Structures are given as structure tokens and as C-alpha cells.
Amino acid sequence: MNGPQDMGGMMGFGPVAPEAGEPRFHEEWERRAFALTLAMGATGTWNIDASRHARETLPPLTYWSSSYYEIWLEGLIKLMGERGLVSADEIRTGKSAEPPRGVARVLKADMVAGVLAKGGPANRSAPAPARFKPGDKIRIRNIHPQGHTRLPRYAHDHAGEIVRVHGCHVFPDSSAHGKGDDPHWLYAVRFSVRELWGHEGPDHVHIDLWEPYLEATP
Amino acid sequence: MNGAHDMGGMMGFGPVLPEPNEPVFHAPWEARLFALVVATGEHGRWTLDEDRSACENRPPAEYLRLTYYEIWLAAFAKLLDEKGVSGSPPSPTQVLRPQNVAAAHLARSEYVREAPAPQKFRVGDKVRARNVHPTGHTRLPRYLRGHAGEIVAVHGAHVFPDSNAHGGGENPQWLYTVRFGAGEVWGNSSRDSIHADLWEPYLAAL
């Protein structure tokens, strides 16, 4: 979806002010929100793409007014609320009002390091040969899906070049909506800034893009 | 600028809920603010385009948080601050009297100017909206950039907002209505059309 997370090319946010010695967490609650989100993710009730989509479908005003971990927390509340794991009342009062519902897996403290080290690989075996190879010229489709996508708006309709083939990966546009892994080839695509933004310059933008986002340049 | 006002194509705002019998103003302060902005406009300290730019050029979260007239108020405060209202008071001819409101409002709504050069395009010409991303004011929406359309009307030469919003003078340019197929713009099979009024510098011959 063309949501508030799709900020590439937007102006008016003010300067990026990097924080010297930036801490991993700015408040204790951020550490807790991070742990809660990972622990709930480990239950297998949703996948990482559904989790991303929950954050990105927050109303634009909420999204732009929230800090990074505020967005995580709002996303988690939404994911749990949609699945009947928490009610609005429980969030408001901070107290459990109903007996806990069962989940498939529970992340115990002694399992955390192992689970984190294992990660969640998204590469899969290929259902078909790759359509493109490094050096191929492609064009990005002009598509505006209502659901989750990782194709940024600013790349629509622009021409680029395949610079790397990452293998076949879970397709977020399907996976976020419970439609299975639906694996597709994933490529690093290089665009010139002139092509994307219409001004001269030596810079390039590289974006990892799935095959269904691309079409061959005639 | 590609600001929060440039919402065409953005999703996630929820449904549009038209208000039955929507009043012109929802609170007395809105009517008062409207009058203040129009009356102060008579002083000639800023142009309509500067006013629009002042509305649009603000942090996106703030733009979305404010109501329509709250945005007007924020822009008004910004212009008063930047342009100053202290110093010499407005001359008597710059003070808008109640009996002059209607005439003054009409006079200030006229943006047709003498053409500095012949028009580049005619009705039926195919054009492409340029892929430009000015950091200043523009009235070319982001979602049309790079797309092909057709000239369907020529409105004459008009004040060019991209210049006039930044003290660059009126710099009149030809203004056209351009028709874009919705399929061209959004990549779907829609047969609908979008019409946008666009100034000549936004367009390239196809």
C-alpha cells in the first residue's frame, strides 16, 4: 500500500539529526516493547511480513507522530487485537480481563539466545528459473496494491539494472496476507538518481526487489 | 515540494465521510480567520502563492493533525512573522472596507497575464509531465510525474506559482488542462480520466 512508511521522496520532515552515541533503547519501556514483540513473534501467530504490514497500516498521522518503538507497540496491539489475544479494554486498563488464549509456542527465557541466533531465513527453493540476470535492464511496474508491498512508490515506472541475484525468497506481498510463502526471485536493482529524481548526479539507488515487481525493458 | 499536501495516490487515511449540510464554517473563529486572511491579503505583503506555500510547507505530521482552518491559521502566523506587520501601517487604500469586499475579492482572483511567448502546445498535443522534484512550491502533483497525457484546453498565460510563491515575480506561463488516462497514472485497466491544470514548464513534448 502507498502508506506513510513509503517516505522516499517526501519532503518537509526537517533535517536528519544523528544522535551521538545513540543508545539502543531510549527508555526502559522500549526494551520491553522490543522483547514483547519478539516473544509474540516467536509464538508463530503471525509472520514478519504481517507484522510489518500492521505497523505500516497505522493511520498516517499516527505513524508520523510516533517514535520507532511507539510504532512497534501500536503494531503489536493491532496484531493481538485482530486475533482476539487482547481487548481494547485490557490495553486501556493494563489488566487481563479474560483467561489467556493458547498459542502454538511460548518463548522461554532460556530459549531466547538460540532463537535469535537462528533468525528467520526467508530464502526458499525456486519454483521456476530466474527470469533476469546481472546486467539485464528492467522497468518497475506501475502497480499500487492495496495490500502489503515492499516496492517503494518512487521506483514505479522507472528503468534500472539488475546488479545481483539474491536467490528465491518469501514474497512479502503474499506472506503478509496469509497467502503462503509464494517464493519469488529477489534482485538488487540499481537506478540512477537522474532516472528516479530527474536531476543530474553520479549517485545511484539500490533496491532489493522481487521478480513480480519487474518487467523486461523492450 | 513533495509535502504531505500532495496526497494523490496515498492510502490509509480511511473513508471520506461527507458531512450532510456541511456549514461553510464550523466555528465563529474560522469565519473570523477567513476574514482576517482576506483583509490582510489586501495589504499586498504576500501573494496567494506564498500563502499556499506557507500552508503546505510544514512537517507532514503537523499538516495531518491540523484542520483546514488550523492550517490557514498556522500559515497566517508564519507569514505575519516572516513579512512583518510592524513598521508602517497599511495605507488607506490597502484597508479593506466592508463595502469593497466583493469587488476586491474578485479583482484579486484574476491571474491571467499577457503571454511572454507563444504557446508551445495546442489542444490534442501529447505531452509528458516532467519528472521534477522541486524543493520549493509547485502545483504539479507527484503522481502525474513521468506520465503521458493530452492537452484538452488552453487557459492562456497565468501567474506561475513556482516563481510567485518565492518572490520570483509572476513569471507568467501558459496554463493547460491535461487529460491523463487513469490506467496510465495508476497502472490499472480503468477507463477513467484525470484532468489536471498544469503550467507549461511542467510539460515536455512527447
* pLDDT the model gives residue A46: 97
Q: Which residue in chain B is spatially nearest to A3 when comparing CA positions? A: B11
Q: How many CB pairs under 8 A join A and B?
A: 77
Sign of CA dihedral B3, B8, B11, B16: positive
Q: How far is A112 from chain B (nearest CA, A)?
A: 35
Q: Which of A57, A89, A98, A90 is nearest to A74 (CA)?
A: A57
Across all residues in chain A, what is the average pLDDT? Answer: 96
pLDDT higher than 80, residue B90 = no
Model confidence at A80, pLDDT cuts 50, 70, 90, reads: very high
HSE of B21, CA atoms in CB hemisphere, 13 A: 0
Across A56-78, average pLDDT: 97
Q: What is the pLDDT of residue A194?
A: 96
Find, in chain B, the residue whose alpha carbon is nearest to that of A194: B131
User: What's the pLDDT tens digit per position in A33-54?
Assistant: 999 999 999 999 999 999 999 9
**Per-residue model confidence as pLDDT tens digits over B111-145:** 999 999 999 999 999 999 999 999 999 999 999 99
Cβ contacts of A143 on chain B, cutoff 8 Å: 187
Listed by number, the residues of chain A in 184-213 with a beta carbon closer than 8 Å to a beta carbon of chain B are: 197-199
State whether residue B136 sits within 8 Å of chain A by CB. Answer: no
Q: What is the mean pLDDT of residues B81-100?
A: 79
Alpha carbon distance B79, B57 (integer Å): 12
Tens digits of per-residue pLDDT, B140-175? 999 999 999 999 999 999 999 999 999 999 999 999
* A57 shares contact with chain B (CB less than 8 Å): yes
- CB contacts, 8 Å: B146 with chain A: 157-158
Determine whether the interchain pair A11/B3 forms a contact, defined as Cβ–Cβ distance below 8 Å. Answer: yes
- Provide the pLDDT for residue B88: 67
Partner-chain contact B4 A3, CB within 8 Å? no
Mean pLDDT within B63-75: 97
| A118 min Cα distance to partner chain B (Å) | 35
Contact B12 A60 (CB under 8 A): yes
**Least CA distance to A155: which residue of chain B?**
B146
Give B124 to chain A, closest Cα distance, Å: 24
Confidence of residue A5 (pLDDT cuts 50, 70, 90): very high
Q: Taking CB atoms and an 8 Å limit, are A4 and B186 in contact across chains?
A: no
Summarised one tens digit per residue, pLDDT across range B189-201 is 999 999 999 999 9
Q: pLDDT over 90 for what percent of chain A?
A: 96
Q: Which pLDDT value is given to residue A71?
A: 98
pLDDT tier, B98 (very low <50, low <70, confident <90, very high otherwise): confident
**What's the pTM value of the predicted model, to 2 decimals?**
0.92
> In chain B, at which residue ranges do the beta strands (DSSP E only) sit?
112-113, 126-129, 148-158, 173-181, 193-199, 203-205
ipTM of the complex: 0.91
